């Protein structure tokens, strides 16, 4: 028998290690502008059987935090640092989670919305399909669509962005080296405006929302209490002053509002169907059981009214590619049941997301709900921990900032994780918050600080800034310190105007 050459020995050794690699595949799925209560497993009437399946076989978080806005969330998710530390979309002074996992030999794949500078291919992804822009027409796309780093011409007919994102994700998985673990990041643009959905998805929900936002909030809140998503003692946040009672609406107004919410529901339903396609593909290729799925939204529901006049004038339906509908505060408030405020705000309705983790081989207590708090900065730490990759001090010859998260692996293992000392939130200095233990400091639109005991009052109904004056001052000082630590600019770090003395 001829002796093996040294090169051949190394080849066999490499093959053996790859074959024995039991590190998990990671599928990170993020949707856009979805409210806290918009999934079936979080209390919604919207049909999400595939996500419900992941939740029932995995772990649901009730206190997982994002950064309340598209680009700030993406910068934090990708870098493992607070967005203020990396120049938000510039992604400076950091590696991305894709670059980190590539250091560990992972294949890195992405489809969907990017909304950062540079491109995914330039920041560690092996394959990419999607749009670089912050939003697009779901039927016609836009001129930022790319396949890898090349412009992609969106077909004139038969195209729907949510479906296309999944088509290419599956195509990339089929072409990936089966001997290596993979990281797949799918960033669906849905249900971000414009409200676009295939006609059959809209009609599936038509009439469902004639109950109105007041009744929808009550029914969702009741289901959330039954499911254990919210504490029954937390009051339902009041309807905002700028939201009329449903009974005050005319029949024509009610019908239009039902159409908008039916479209929004149809968009989420379609996302769930596509997640089902991903699950089926991984099951068919025997990669499902050792794949960690993580699902979340980039911020809370969106309150912005941006329906275009031509859509109203021409009475365009939301399955018409030329239409441009949005909903506003009225439904956004219901979608964030029972929490206060919305996208961009640092109150709980802006920064709280449904978060589902599913991993057959790694979740110790499937079907459970955890109230342990966690944050986007934890996703980088989790990925590198499970991939057995040490976070580097430098990358491509340049020093980088340190990751600021904590791995979720202990929570997956059914343990009590050491929590963050504090979590900081800021949106360009006008909307800010600090969460430390049970307590939360928050302000809005450069207004005065408020103080809440989140454990007892998640819906932020009882401002304790006066009765807890010393704690209030301590948390304000801690916010200032932490803002400086993570690079919040001086002009932003004022963190709210002082309350006027009455």
Give the domain CATH number at 455: 3.30.1120.10
Do 289 and 398 fall into the same domain?
A: yes
CA distance 269 to 424: 33
In a domain, 494, yes or no: no
Which range of residues forms the domain containing residue 246? 22-412
In a domain, 131, yes or no: yes
Tally the domains of the chain. 2
In a domain, 106, yes or no: yes
Q: Is the pLDDT of residue 502 over 50?
A: no
Q: Is the pLDDT of residue 18 over 90?
A: no
Q: What is the mean pLDDT of the chain?
A: 94
For 81, other C-beta atoms within 10 Å of its C-beta total 25
Given 361, 379, 412, which residue is the final one in a domain?
A: 412
Q: Which residues are annotated as catalytic?
A: 70, 115
Do 29 and 85 fall into the same domain?
A: yes
* Beta bridge partner(s), residue 297: 31
Do 347 and 448 fall into the same domain?
A: no
CA distance 430 to 69: 13
CA distance 228 to 235: 15
C-alpha distances in Å from residue 154, one per residue of 31, 168, 179: 21, 13, 33
Given 412, 440, 466, which residue is the final one in a domain?
A: 412
CA distance 68 to 83: 12
Distance in angstroms between the alpha carbons of the first and the last residue of the chain: 95
Do 234 and 286 fall into the same domain?
A: yes
Q: How, if at all, do strands 450-453 and 439-443 pair?
A: antiparallel
Do 80 and 147 fall into the same domain?
A: yes
Stronger pLDDT, 12 or 364, i.e. the higher one:
364
Is the CB of residue 478 less than 8 Å from the CB of residue 462?
no
Main-chain dihedrals φ then ψ at residue 403, nearest 5 degrees: -60, 145
- Report the helix count and the strand count for the chain, using DSSP H and E: 14, 17
For 9, other C-beta atoms within 10 Å of its C-beta total 11
Do 301 and 367 fall into the same domain?
A: yes
Do 387 and 439 fall into the same domain?
A: no
Do 400 and 471 fall into the same domain?
A: no
Do 185 and 306 fall into the same domain?
A: yes
pTM: 0.94
pLDDT tens for 442-468 read 999 999 999 999 999 999 999 999 999
In a domain, 491, yes or no: no
Q: Which two tokens stand for residue 268?
A: 């989420």
Q: How, if at all, do strands 107-113 and 352-358 pair?
A: unpaired
For 382, other C-beta atoms within 10 Å of its C-beta total 24
Given 393, 412, 431, which residue is the final one in a domain?
A: 412
In a domain, 490, yes or no: no
Do 358 and 439 fall into the same domain?
A: no
As a whole number, mean pLDDT of residues 324-336 equals 98
CA distance 116 to 70: 10
Please report which residue ranges of 80-145 form alpha helices under DSSP H: 97-103
**pLDDT grade for 3, boundaries at 50, 70 and 90:** very low
As a whole number, mean pLDDT of residues 286-315 equals 98
**pLDDT grade for 226, boundaries at 50, 70 and 90:** very high
Do 427 and 322 fall into the same domain?
A: no
Main-chain dihedrals φ then ψ at residue 293, nearest 5 degrees: -95, 135
In a domain, 6, yes or no: no
Angle at the Cα of 365 (from 364 to 371), degrees rounded to 5? Answer: 115
Do 449 and 384 fall into the same domain?
A: no
Residues 6+ apart with CB under 8 A from 430: 444, 445, 446
As a whole number, mean pLDDT of residues 378-406 equals 96
In a domain, 11, yes or no: no
HSE, CB side, 13 Å, CA atoms: give it for residue 7. Answer: 0
In a domain, 316, yes or no: yes
CATH number where 376 lies: 3.40.720.10
Q: Is the pLDDT of residue 409 over 90?
A: yes
């Amino acid at each position: 028998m001829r002796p093996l050459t040294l090169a051949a020995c190394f080849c066999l050794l490499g093959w053996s290690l790859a074959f024995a690699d039991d590190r998990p595949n990671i599928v990170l799925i993020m949707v856009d502008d979805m409210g806290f209560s918009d999934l079936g497993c979080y209390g919604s009437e919207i049909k999400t059987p595939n996500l419900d399946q992941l939740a029932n076989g995995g772990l649901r978080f009730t206190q997982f935090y994002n950064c309340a806005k598209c680009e700030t969330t993406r910068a934090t998710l990708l870098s493992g640092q607070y967005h203020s530390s990396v120049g938000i979309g510039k992604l400076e002074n950091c590696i991305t989670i894709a670059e980190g996992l590539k250091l560990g030999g992972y294949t890195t794949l992405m489809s969907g919305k990017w909304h950062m500078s540079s491109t995914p291919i330039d920041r560690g992804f092996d394959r990419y399909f999607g749009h670089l822009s912050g939003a697009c027409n779901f039927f016609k796309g836009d001129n930022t669509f790319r396949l890898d780093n090349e412009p992609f011409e969106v077909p004139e007919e038969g195209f729907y962005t949510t479906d296309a994102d999944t088509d290419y994700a599956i195509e990339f998985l089929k072409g990936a080296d089966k001997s290596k673990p993979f990281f797949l990041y799918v960033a669906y643009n849905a249900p971000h405006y414009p409200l676009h959905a295939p006609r059959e998805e809209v009609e599936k929900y038509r009439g469902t929302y004639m109950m109105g936002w007041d009744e929808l909030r009550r029914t969702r809140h009741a289901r959330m209490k039954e499911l254990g998503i919210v504490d029954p003692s937390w009051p339902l946040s009041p309807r905002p002053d700028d939201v009329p009672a449903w009974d005050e609406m005319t029949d024509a107004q009610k019908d239009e509002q039902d159409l908008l919410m039916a479209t929004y529901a149809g968009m989420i339903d379609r996302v769930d169907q596509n997640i089902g396609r991903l699950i089926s593909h991984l099951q068919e290729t025997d990669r499902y059981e050792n794949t960690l799925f993580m699902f979340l939204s980039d911020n809370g529901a969106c309150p912005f009214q941006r329906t275009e006049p031509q859509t109203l004038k021409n009475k365009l339906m939301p399955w018409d590619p030329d239409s441009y509908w949005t909903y506003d505060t009225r439904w956004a408030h219901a979608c964030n049941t029972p929490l206060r405020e919305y996208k961009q705000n640092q109150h709980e309705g802006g920064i709280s997301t449904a978060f589902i983790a599913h991993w057959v081989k790694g979740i110790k207590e499937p079907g459970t709900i955890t109230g342990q708090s966690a944050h986007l900065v934890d996703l980088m730490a989790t990925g590198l921990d499970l991939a057995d990759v040490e976070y580097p001090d430098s990358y491509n010859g340049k020093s980088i900032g340190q990751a600021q998260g904590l791995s979720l692996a202990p929570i997956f293992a059914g343990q009590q994780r050491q929590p963050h000392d504090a979590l900081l939130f800021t949106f360009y200095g006008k909307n800010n918050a600090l969460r430390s233990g049970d307590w939360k400091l928050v302000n809005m639109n450069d207004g005065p600080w408020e103080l809440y005991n989140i454990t007892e009052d998640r819906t932020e109904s009882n401002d304790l800034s006066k009765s807890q004056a010393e704690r209030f001052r301590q948390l304000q000082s801690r916010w200032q310190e932490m803002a400086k630590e993570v690079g919040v600019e001086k002009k932003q770090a004022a963190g709210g105007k002082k309350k006027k003395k009455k």
